[in-house]
Amino acid sequence: MLKTFLSSLLILILLATACNDRANNEQPVSQEKQKKDLIAKYPDSFLLKQDLIDYYQQNGNYGQAFAETENMLKQDSANANLWNMQANLYFDNDDTPNTIHSLEKAIRIDADPEYMKSLGSLYAETKNPLALSIANSLLGNPKANSQEQALFIKGLFYSSTGDKIKAISYFDTCLSIDYNDMYSYREKAMCLYDMGKYNDALAVLQKAISVKTSYDEAYYWMGRCYEKLGNKNEAISSYQTALQIDNNYIEAKDALAKLNTQ
């Protein structure tokens, strides 16, 4: 906690210094240049370099974010956090194979439970049985405090490999641990949907929105279920609600547009 506080304080002080320096100049300085100038002034600061990468990532400049991360890895390839940062960049770019590769590198250096949970989920989604090994490792490590996440990984694996009944049993266990687990509601509903049990899936999704009314994915999947049940008006209403919560929900936009043309 103290380390995090001091690190944050350092960045604030350095940024304040940069702002004061800029005030003495007539020409405004871009955020990117400010950050680069600080790095030039304090070249050994990992936090400042990470801040620059985050800046590029948040602004969609992934080319520069990747380049900065690669430069840091060339200097410190044994830094698990750097590999995890690279994994996050690949994940944002929908590059699952390279996300997995980077997480594997991170875990070889540091078997951090957070890295393991991320990798286990991706293994599960790609039908890799190593997902079960990771889940078991998490369950066997009380200090990881990851029982629910480990069971969720198992559920994901069985769902992706077609054993929907077994998957649902794991999602139910997750919900018995934490009834606020929106991902388990979603995955359970998707399993029921795949089994053609649309009314049962709707019941799960309605339970989810009773817990969290702003859960956009629940409304989207309700729309999918209503479509299968031939209830066009309810489907449209569900997709519209999903878009009210997230107006960039591409799947909901596409589903709504398709229904409106029928």
- pLDDT at 2 > cutoff 50: no
The amino acid sitting at 199 is N
| Average pLDDT for the chain | 90
Phi (first) and psi of residue 248, to 5 degrees:
-105, 15
pLDDT tens for 165-210 read 999 999 999 999 999 999 999 999 999 999 999 999 999 999 999 9
Residue 151 pLDDT class (50, 70, 90 cuts): very high
Q: Which domain holds residue 233?
A: 179-262
pTM score = 0.83
Q: Are residues 152 and 226 in the same domain?
A: no
Q: Distance between CA 81 and CA 110 in Å, rounded? A: 9
The reply to whether 145 falls in a domain is yes
Look up the CATH number of the domain holding residue 206. Answer: 1.25.40.10
- pLDDT at 5 > cutoff 50: no
pLDDT value at residue 260: 83
The amino acid sitting at 218 is A
* Three state DSSP letters for 32-92: HHHHHHHHHHCCCCHHHHHHHHHHHHHCCCHHHHHHHHHHHHHHCCCCHHHHHHHHHHHHH
How many distinct structural domains can be found in the chain?
2
End-to-end CA distance of the chain, in Å? 57
Look up the CATH number of the domain holding residue 93. Answer: 1.25.40
Q: Are residues 200 and 150 in the same domain?
A: no
